[in-house]
Amino acid sequence: MAEPNGSVGPGAVIDRSFWDGRRVLVTGHTGFKGAWLSLWLQSLGARVTGLSDRVLPPPSLYDVAGVGAGMQTHWVDIRDADALARAVRACEPEIVLHLAAQSLVRTSLEQPRLTFEATVMGTVHLLEAVRTTPGVQVAIVVTSDKCYDNSDPDRSHPDSDPMGGNDPYASSKGCAELVTAAYRTSYFATDATADGADVPCRIATARAGNVIGGGDWSRDRLVPDAMRATLAGGRLEVRNPESIRPWQHVLNPLGGYLLLAQHLWTRPDLVGGWNFGPDDDSMISVGSLLELIAARWPGTFAWHRDDGPHPAEERSLRIDSSHTQQALGWRPAWNLADGIAALVGWYEAYRDGAPMGDVTLAQIAEFERRMVAASPAPPTGP
C-alpha cells in the first residue's frame, strides 16, 4: 500500500480540506453517536456511507435531523460476516469509523449472547472486511471507557491500563479492544506485510463514555429517560444518583475521533488505544448532573430516587486522557456547562417544533468554532 497523500491541519483543529471528498464508512450510523458523526462528516464535505441493521424506533436523531438524506446506506447486520464484507468492498472507503455495537448496559445484561456477538464478533467481521478491502488507510474502532479492569474505582485509567469488565457490556468492550490489538499486530503492522516495506491500514481504538447531547432517545439511559419524562410532564425515577461518571457532550469525543483519523493518515506511529474523556470537574454524580440540567430547563424538571432492586453497577469510573491531549493536541472544547446548555437547547427546540437538522448542524458549527478558539500548538510527538 502506497503512502497516502494529503495534509493534516495543526493541533486540535478539524481540517475541512482533509475531509472534503474523503470516502468514509460509519458503522452504526443510525445510533445516537453515529448520527451526530455522520451529519458532521456531511457538513465537512465527506462522501459518507453508513452501515446499520435498522433505524431506531421514533423519535430518533437519524430521522428527525434527516441524516440519511446526505449519505448512502447499506442495511447490514454486523453479525453477518459475508454481507458486511460485501458492503465494505462496495463503498471502497478510505477511512472506517466503527461504532456499531451493543450500546446499552441493561440490554447487555438481558441479552449477553447478542451483546458478545455484536460487539466482539462484529469487530472481528469488520476488521476482516477491512483486511480484504484495498484502499482503506485508517480504521478506528470505538469501544467504551468501561473496557478497563476497574478494580480500583477511585483511580483514573490511562490508556495503557489492562482490559477487563465484570459484566457482559464492559467485558465485551474489553474483548473488542483485545481483538483489535491482535489484528493490528498480526495483520496491520508494517512487518506483517508481504515485503515488509509498505505501510498498511492504521488501526486505532477510541474510548469514551457517558456522552450526553440532543437527540438521544435510548431506553434506560439517564438523559434520554429524563427528557422523555420531562417532555411528557412526568417525573424521572433514578436508580443510583450517587454514581460518578465522566460526563461530556457527544461532540467532544466525536471531534477526537476525527482528529485521530486525520493524524493517523500520516502518522502510523499513533496506532493504539486512546482515551477521550472529560476534565476532572466533569466527573460528577448522576444526581448532580440532573440538578444542573434542571437549573437550565425552562419548566418543570422532576426526579427522585428509585430504591430498586437494580442490577449492580460500578460506583465510579474515571479515565485519564492526558496522553491523548499531549500526543494529539485534543481536549474537550465544551466543558460540562457548555454541554448541558447545548443539550437543553436541542430538546427545547425539538419541543417547539424547530427543524432539527438545522439545529443539530448549528451546534456542530458552533462546536467547531470553539475547537479552533481552544486549539493548542501542534503536538510535538507521541
Residue 150 pLDDT? 87
**pTM above 0.75?**
yes
Q: At what angle do helices 356-374 and 251-266 cross, to 10 degrees?
A: 60
Mean pLDDT throughout 345-364?
Answer: 98
Cell of 80: 453477518
362 and 38 Cβ atoms separated by less than 8 Å = no
The 10s digit of each residue's pLDDT in 20-66 is 999 999 999 999 999 999 999 999 999 999 999 999 889 999 999 99
Q: Where does the pLDDT of residue 382 fall: very low under 50, low under 70, confident under 90, or very high at 90 and above?
A: low
Mean pLDDT throughout 308-329?
Answer: 80
The 10s digit of each residue's pLDDT in 212-244 is 999 999 988 899 999 999 999 999 999 889 888
- Residue 16 to residue 330: CA distance in whole angstroms: 17
- Residue 209 to residue 87: CA distance in whole angstroms: 28
Answer yes or no: is pLDDT of 198 > 60: no
Q: How many CA atoms lie within 13 A of 209 on its CB side?
A: 24
270 and 382 Cβ atoms separated by less than 8 Å = yes
349 and 24 Cβ atoms separated by less than 8 Å = no
CB atoms within 10 A of CB 280: 11
Amino acid 206 reads A
Burial (Cβ within 10 Å: 0-12, 13-18, ≥19) of residue 20: exposed
- Residue 89 to residue 72: CA distance in whole angstroms: 14
**Which CATH superfamily hosts domain 16-310+318-373?**
NAD(P)-binding Rossmann-like Domain (3.40.50.720)
Report for 93-107, 234-248, 252-266, 307-321: range of highest mean pLDDT: 252-266
Residue 11 pLDDT? 54
Mean pLDDT throughout 163-176?
Answer: 94
- Residue 41 to residue 176: CA distance in whole angstroms: 25
Least confident of 8-12, 146-150, 278-282, 304-308: 8-12
Q: What is the DSSP string of 178-245?
A: HHHHHHHHHHSSGGGSSSS-S---EEEEEE---EE-TT---TT-HHHHHHHHHHTT-EEEES-TT-EE
What's the whole-number average pLDDT of the chain?
90
Cell of 169: 457490556
Cell of 14: 478539524
Answer yes or no: is pLDDT of 187 > 60: yes
Cell of 318: 474515571
Answer yes or no: is pLDDT of 98 > 70: yes
Mean pLDDT throughout 176-186?
Answer: 96
- With cell 425552562, the residue in question is 298
Q: How remote is the C-alpha of 352 from its chain's centroid?
A: 28
For the chain, the structural domain boundaries read: 16-310+318-373
Mean pLDDT throughout 181-186?
Answer: 96
The 10s digit of each residue's pLDDT in 257-303 is 999 999 999 999 999 999 999 998 898 999 999 999 999 999 999 99
Cell of 379: 503536538
302 and 253 Cβ atoms separated by less than 8 Å = no
The 10s digit of each residue's pLDDT in 122-158 is 999 999 999 999 999 999 999 999 999 988 877 889 9
**Biggest distance spanned by C-alpha atoms of the chain:** 66
Alpha helices of 297-355 — where are they, by DSSP H?
Answer: 322-328, 336-351
Q: Where does the pLDDT of residue 314 fall: very low under 50, low under 70, confident under 90, or very high at 90 and above?
A: low
94 and 20 Cβ atoms separated by less than 8 Å = no
Residue 312 pLDDT? 59
The 10s digit of each residue's pLDDT in 251-269 is 999 999 999 999 999 999 9
